Chains A and B, each alone.
Chain A
Amino acid sequence: MEMKIEDYLAQGGQLTSPGNVPPRYRGELMRLMASFVDSELAGAAGFADTINDAPGIRNRIAAAKITQEKLDHAGRVLEVMGEFGADTARYDTRHDWAARMARDADLDAARHGDDMRLSVFHYPIAGYVDAVVLNVLMGLATVVQLHEMGRVSYAPLADAFREIAPREAAHVDLGLKGLRQIVGDDAGRQKAAQSVAYWLPKVEASFGQAGSARFEKQARLGLRHTENETLREDWAGRVADAMSPLGLG
């Protein structure tokens, strides 16, 4: 009845504790978790200014809720990293998560600097409308990615992602509500259209390259299931569905 862990994973098996993961699986899994945690921490730090920028108490509460929950999501996944030995108390103090590069910086999709945030989180947000647009576009990407990550072969992480997914989806709904208010007049719509043009390619790049070698490696370990290209198409469809009714298609 003995079976190699690699074969077990290739057949869709799940691992359940730090004690039964092989070393290279551990490395890839930690990397994947760090990328999520760093992106949530950087995302929350960038979005925090929106709490002050948002017009009206309701919109500010929405911005505060989104910021708070993204930090909470980072904390939940960091807790899983902690079970592998990561120092959870030190983890978030090692970077200035609010730091951003220039608005017109030309970053490719690769990681920059010493953290694992997606490159889209290196770009600064320019005011409330810009924040709402990024929240919707990136939120839809997160929904697609979390659907994929809910199938990850490390069961405690899959559980965490499944708990996080509906709350990230709710952030998109809050964003769409804000966006509907914004496109209510021509000036708002124009501003939003500019932000869509700015963020769309940057969020798109966060899906990674087609035919990536890393995908192959992660797929063998059950850490990924759907190709980058397919996820990107799923996202593009959702963006079109959300943006067309607002005249931003």
Chain B
Amino acid sequence: MARFLPLRVTELRRDTRDAVVVTLQPRPEDAGAFDFTQGQYLTFRREFDGEELRRSYSICAGRDDGVLRVGIKRVDGGAFSTWANEELQAGMELEAMAPMGRFHTDLDGAVAKHYLGVAAGSGITPVLSIIKTTLAREPKSRFTLIYANRSVNSIMFREELEDLKNLYLGRFSVIHILKSEGQEIDLFTGRIDAEKMAALFENWIDPESLDAAFICGPEGLMLTVADSLREAGLEDGQIKFELFASSQPGRAKKKAVSRDSAQAGEATEAVVTLDGATRSFRMPKQGETLLDAALAQDMDAPFACKAGVCSTCRAKVLEGEAEMAVNHALEDYEVAQGYVLTCQCYPLTDRIVVSYDE
């Protein structure tokens, strides 16, 4: 089960108007747990108004930098990112899980490969980690970065990228695409679409020379660039993705206020939503789990282990209360938000409203 460990903020640097770069130090005994692979992310947790919120931010440091560092860009209405940008300070402590994510390829000091990175906005964060680690550990490989931003002022890690160009002369090149600022070359103005990718492949980057590509940004960019790369002849296995979803909720919804727990009746009126459709049926409070009751109604509810281990059958209680016989898969904060494992779930109230869609 996931474990959160303390990290001390040793440095906090403002990178752009809307982004901070936070250097973190684990306790000596946790150093091994935070030994990361390039392109991974950290998941932080913090309470806002009594409710726990978890947010993931990518590591921007290279493996050989000797530090743990993340970039946090403020998103509108985002509780965690706003707090990090406005209130977080050096000396404070954060809680994070060990690094996760598989946005990387194996490195080999003997090979001479050509990598492409395509990033938009804060999508640069994991790509920067990959660039730094790759250039340091594969001395014969080179890296090309296509980096899309609104304007020069919003480019994250602008100086750091310039420094890398100088440090790895001839092995690292950056193409900045700016949405709202004209550049000397028309191709570098506007947004990344299929046409622009085709033109870049025609004039600036030979797609046949590419061994692997890393794409990180919002949905539209991922689709466009992946299509272009496939069209240019890259296999699915050569294209690595990290999605920075645009529609991440800023704040977890409050748990529905439950009525008096444990009511007297033997049966429950269950109201279950699945794939947008809602069904009501009566079920006993004991002897049958909510999952089995839903399945008996011919609802195609998801499940796998039926032993409270895998979490496939997770759903949210919106009204009423239930208890779980066994729970090896949900964490306390999920339970606090009303999530249950329906395969282990018995209603306590005379009415219970549950959704598999939330």
Contacts and interface: CB of A to CB of B under 8 A. Distances in A.
A17 B97 CA distance: 14
A223 to B, nearest CB: 12
Contacts, number: 131
A16 B100 contact: no
Interface stretch (A67-75, A98-106, A155-163): A155-163
Centre residue among B100, B300, B312 by max chain A CB count within 10 A: B312
B246 A156 contact: no
Contact of B242 (A16, A24, A151): A16
Interface string B322-358: 0000001111001000000000000000000000111
A15 B312 contact: no
Given A23-B358, A30-B312, A162-B237, A87 B245 contact: no
A16 B241 contact: yes
Interface string B300-334: 10111111011111100000000000001111001
B226 A30 contact: no
Contacts of B275: 24, 217
B215 to A, nearest CB: 9
Contacts of A186: none
Interface residues of B, number: 50
B343 to A, nearest CB: 9
- Prevailing SS type, chain B contact patch: loop
Interface in A19-59: 19-20, 23-24, 26-28, 30-31, 34-35, 38
20 contacts: A8-B219, A8-B222, A8-B223, A15-B243, A16-B103, A17-B41, A17-B100, A17-B243, A19-B54, A20-B248, A24-B275, A27-B314, A85-B329, A86-B311, A87-B328, A90-B309, A116-B304, A150-B237, A162-B237, A217-B275
Interface of B: 1-2, 41, 43, 54, 56, 100-103, 218-220, 222-223, 226-227, 236-237, 240-243, 245-248, 274-275, 300, 302-307, 309-314, 328-331, 334, 356-358
Interface of A: 1-5, 7-8, 11-17, 19-20, 23-24, 26-28, 30-31, 34-35, 38, 81, 83-87, 90-91, 94, 114-116, 150-151, 155-156, 158-159, 162, 214, 217
